[in-house]
Every structure is written in structure tokens, then in C-alpha cells.
């Protein structure tokens, strides 16, 4: 009787947890889980285990946390697990060529975009910021370049006008897990997945998010600002100065028509929203957060201000 497929999983954040669970349920033998070392978190800055580590320990799978895989000792320890396949999902460490060549079936990666569009660190948010109508996940055969490997399987999903960075993150995490499960099932049945090289055109890089990007510039169009609000929920969260007060903006939508005021000016107050003029159109804000406060509806912010009125 042939031995089961030996699989090593490498991942760190919450996005990777559904894919780890797909591996555990696949029928393959998950011989080890690799994740980044525990990092300080929270107000107390105590060391905290990654979501993937927590899920692995709950499933009684051995956990490895090397600082790097460029070290010969770390590579030797990985080789000792004798993996047939390494599955990588948002691991956060670079896999050297020696590691990519180690497993019999190579290394797979679940990436949250339709490659070659949005290679890199923040594909979910970049797709929203660009106004893309569609995104998805690619199961990719890894190679030395940054997200350049051929695609084994792909699944698509629309980006709705209501999608935020958080909601799209969660949907793509589950879609990625289902796509990975499909790939593993095929391999376990003896199939060979056919790698399709990425197109040479349409390459875009999803650079890592910077908190400075979240500051809204009222000299931009309302449509672009609304996309920023959605993309930066839940992190780093859009922020702006409104009526002299610095606020975090959690929910807003673009409204067509003449702004009727200078960019950044509050041009209307409604019961549940405020309208702020932009370079083109109006940004209608419905949820915000004061410094040191919690996320609240605009009507509560209006009621808390002396000049707040409900129109």
C-alpha cells in the first residue's frame, strides 16, 4: 500500500488558517507546520502565537518557527520531514531555491489575486483601490521570482460595491482553501496538475500597505476616496480632518453631482450621514471614530457636537 502524501504547510496569519484546515482534511499527512516566530502583540506587548500556530497546535501537528530558511540547519530540519509537497499561504518568509527544489512535487502557493495582476504583499486591498470588478485566488507552482510561477488552478469572485478589505479577505481565504482542497484531491487521485505560465502582459505589483496611504486627500475624487475607505477597513483605516477634528472613517460612499463647496468642506448634514466636498463629487460618510473613541454612527457624532444637527 503506498504511503500517504507527506505535506508541510507554511503560513502565518488568519488568511492561511482555512487552507491549513483544508490540508488537514485532505487525506494527506501533514507532518509539520511552519509559521513565523511568536511576536509581541497587544497593549502588553506579550509574545503571541500566530493564528496558524494556534490552529496547528489544536490539531496536534508539530510546529516549526525558524527565523529564516536560508540557514543550512533550518533547511536540514525541513528536509528531515521528507515532504512530498510544501504548501505556502501568506507565510512571510522567502523560500530559497534549495527549499523550492526539496519536495518531490515542489511548493504550492495560494495567492489572493488573478495573476499576473497584483503580485506581492497586499493584493486584496490593491484590487479594491484600483476599482477592479473581479478578483480571485490562484494556486501557483512556486519558483524563485515574486509570485511569478505558473498557475495550477484558479477561482474567481466579483468585487462588490460593499466589499471591504476585511470582507474580501475572508471570502478569498475560504475560496483559496476550496481551490487548494481541489488541487490536493486531484493529486491524491493520481492526477498531474498542468501548470499554465502567467501572461507577460498585465503585470501589477501590490506593494505593502503604508499607514500614510490611509490619510484622505480631499483634492482626490469622491470615488477614489470611497475605495480607500473600503480597502483600508479593517487596517490601517482611512482618516481625515473634518471640521477641524481628525477622525477615522469606517464607512462612506461616493455621491455624484456638484460638491457645492471647497474640497474638505462639510456641505450637508443628514440624520445618518455627512457630505464632504471633494475634487469631484461628494463623499457621504456614515460611520467614523474619534481619537481615543470607538467606531460610531455619524448621527452619534453629530449629537455629541454642539453644532450637530439632524436635517
Residues 248 and 289: beta-carbon distance below 8 Å = yes
Is 168 assigned to a binding site? no
Is 167 assigned to a binding site? no
d(C-alpha 90, C-alpha 9), whole Å: 11
3-state secondary structure the chain: CCCCCEEEEEECCHHHHHHHHHHHCCCCEEEEEECCCCEEECCCCEEECCHHHHHHHHCCCCEECCCCCCCHHHHHHHHHCCCCEEEEECCCCCCCHHHHCCCCCCEEEEECCCCCCCEECCHHHHHHHCCCCEEEEEEEECCCCCCCCCEEEEEEEECCCCCCHHHHHHHHHHHHHHHHHHHHHHHHCCCCCCCECCCCCCCCEECCCCHHHHECCCCCCHHHHHHHHHHCCCCCCEEEEECCEEEEEEEEEEECCCCCCCCCCEEEECCCCEEEECCCCEEEEEEEEECCCCEEEHHHHHHHCCCCCCC
Is 116 assigned to a binding site? yes
Radius of gyration from C-alpha coordinates of the chain: 23
Residues 166 and 172: beta-carbon distance below 8 Å = no
d(C-alpha 119, C-alpha 132), whole Å: 15
Residues counted in the chain: 311
Is 114 assigned to a binding site? yes
Residues 260 and 283: beta-carbon distance below 8 Å = no
> Which residues contribute to the annotated binding site for (6S)-5,6,7,8-tetrahydrofolate?
113-116
> Which residues contribute to the annotated binding site?
113-116
Amino acid at each position: 500500500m503506498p504511503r500517504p502524501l507527506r505535506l508541510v504547510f507554511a503560513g502565518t496569519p488568519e488568511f492561511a488558517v482555512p487552507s491549513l484546515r483544508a490540508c488537514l482534511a485532505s487525506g494527506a499527512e501533514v507532518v509539520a507546520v511552519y509559521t513565523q516566530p511568536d511576536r509581541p502583540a497587544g497593549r502588553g506587548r506579550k509574545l503571541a502565537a500566530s493564528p496558524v500556530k494556534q490552529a496547528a497546535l489544536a490539531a496536534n501537528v508539530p510546529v516549526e518557527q525558524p527565523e529564516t530558511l536560508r540557514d543550512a540547519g533550518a533547511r536540514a530540519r525541513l528536509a528531515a520531514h521528507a515532504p512530498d509537497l510544501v504548501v505556502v499561504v501568506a507565510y512571510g518568509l522567502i523560500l530559497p531555491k534549495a527549499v523550492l527544489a526539496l519536495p518531490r512535487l515542489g511548493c504550492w502557493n495560494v495567492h489572493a489575486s488573478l495573476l499576473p495582476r497584483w503580485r506581492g504583499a497586499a493584493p486584496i486591498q490593491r484590487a479594491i483601490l484600483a476599482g477592479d470588478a473581479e478578483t480571485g485566488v490562484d494556486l501557483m507552482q512556486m519558483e524563485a521570482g515574486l509570485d511569478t510561477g505558473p498557475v495550477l488552478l484558479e477561482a474567481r469572485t466579483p468585487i462588490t460595491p460593499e466589499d471591504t478589505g476585511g470582507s474580501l479577505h475572508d471570502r478569498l481565504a475560504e475560496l483559496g482553501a476550496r481551490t487548494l482542497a481541489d488541487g490536493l484531491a486531484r493529486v491524491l487521485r493520481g492526477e498531474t496538475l498542468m501548470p499554465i505560465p502567467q501572461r507577460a502582459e498585465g503585470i501589477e505589483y501590490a506593494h505593502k500597505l503604508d499607514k500614510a496611504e490611509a490619510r484622505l486627500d480631499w483634492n482626490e475624487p469622491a470615488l477614489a476616496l470611497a475605495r480607500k475607505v473600503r480597502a483600508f477597513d479593517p487596517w490601517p483605516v482611512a482618516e481625515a480632518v473634518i471640521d477641524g477634528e481628525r477622525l477615522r472613517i469606517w464607512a462612506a460612499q461616493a455621491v455624484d453631482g456638484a460638491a457645492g463647496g471647497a474640497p474638505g468642506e462639510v456641505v450637508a448634514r443628514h440624520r445618518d450621514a455627512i457630505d464632504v466636498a471633494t475634487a469631484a463629487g461628494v463623499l457621504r460618510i456614515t460611520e467614523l471614530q474619534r481619537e481615543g473613541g470607538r467606531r460610531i454612527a455619524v448621527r452619534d457624532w453629530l449629537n455629541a457636537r454642539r453644532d450637530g444637527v439632524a436635517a
